[in-house]
Amino acid sequence: MPVVAIERFEDIVAWQKARALNLAIYEATRATPFSRDFGLASQIQRAAISVMANIAEGFERNRPGELHQALSISKASCAEVRSHLYAALDLGYLNQADFNRLKQQAEEVSRVVGGFRSSVQRRRDREG
């Protein structure tokens, strides 16, 4: 099976999934009562947008080592999103069903980003 070169960050599945997570987080934080907590809403939004932004930035640097680092940051931002989701649940800003859906989505993004990071690491290690 031939290896397909990714030419644009928009073609990266991890970025596409991160984009969908970002949209879901923004939709959730626009709803009341979440929207009234400007601090938490802003924090989770920044973490969600960081996931997709770091994938794009790392890809555009066109160096495996820098992409690997950016993917590590992106994966950590997924963890930050999940942590903020717990706070939103505890504060009553999210019901259990919405929390479960968003947490599952964030976990999937984290898995995909982690898989991509592992692939980049293998390539980086081969290239020395």
Q: Each residue of 83-123: pLDDT tens digit?
A: 999 999 999 999 999 999 999 999 999 999 999 999 888 88
**Would residue 5 count as lying in a domain?**
no
Domain count, the chain: 1
Model pTM score: 0.90
Which distant-in-sequence residues (6+ apart) come within 8 Å of 37 by Cβ?
91, 93
Judged by phi (left if over 0) then psi (alpha if -120 to 50, else beta), residue 37 lies in beta
**Would residue 15 count as lying in a domain?**
yes
Range of the domain at 18: 10-127
Our measurement of the distance from residue 63's CA atom to the centroid of its chain's CA atoms, rounded to an integer in Å, reads 20
The tens digit of pLDDT for each residue in 18-43 reads 999 999 999 999 998 999 999 999 99
Which domain CATH number covers 32?
Answer: 1.20.1440.60
**Would residue 25 count as lying in a domain?**
yes
